[in-house]
Structure 1
């Protein structure tokens, strides 16, 4: 398995699969259109965020979207993981962990002293994030009306 930046064709494939990735990552709460994904992702890519992909035998296994973000209170630039996704048929093989390790290394090498991410509380990926050293920093609460 290789982890690398994707080609433009591979980015198009990721963007087509992203509605399902977001649906699963939000625990079935959001199923965006491809147009909505473009609205969300295009500005990130334009500001320098990028994907790393896990690929084997020309088959896309998963991806991670990383880049910079600004702390809302201090204006400090931090590394941020915007999305991590492994295609269902390839789960349970350590791919997410390898993508996460690569992302952490890239962001560290880019000079960030902190990396953050957001995740729904029911998402099983929390266990992986904790295993990799992430801890809860703040909690967003919701009241359904």
Structure 2
């Protein structure tokens, strides 16, 4: 299963790549995998309303939400977090992807366990995010040069408060 295969790296019961619309209000789930046979939300438009309003997410290259249920109670404006809670996920790792090619995406790792993502895992994904964004933008057919500086160290967010 996805959970067993990913456990030693980034634990995931659900993983998705969301291509963000120019408005930043929603996006389309371009790729999704889950531990079950059900590929939840694949091809669907998902609301991102409220997600990028949170400064810990909008300014970070990666951010963990250790307790999605508490996050929804305290920050109910995040519709995507509410969708994850409805699907019984307890924690999430969000990796915003921004390329020099004007393409934007969001990687979402979700786990059935609260507190599933360590600071080291958040840092790993933050460090990988510029390279992932450049490659995905190239595959999306965006125009313009992709510039990824190996020295650039993107900001890493502490876990979001619950």
Higher relative contact order (CA 8 A, sep 6+): 2
Which bin holds the TM-score, normalised by the shorter protein?
0.3 to 0.5
Q: Which has more helix, going by share of residues? A: 1
TM-score, normalization by structure 2: 0.31
TM-score, normalization by structure 1: 0.33
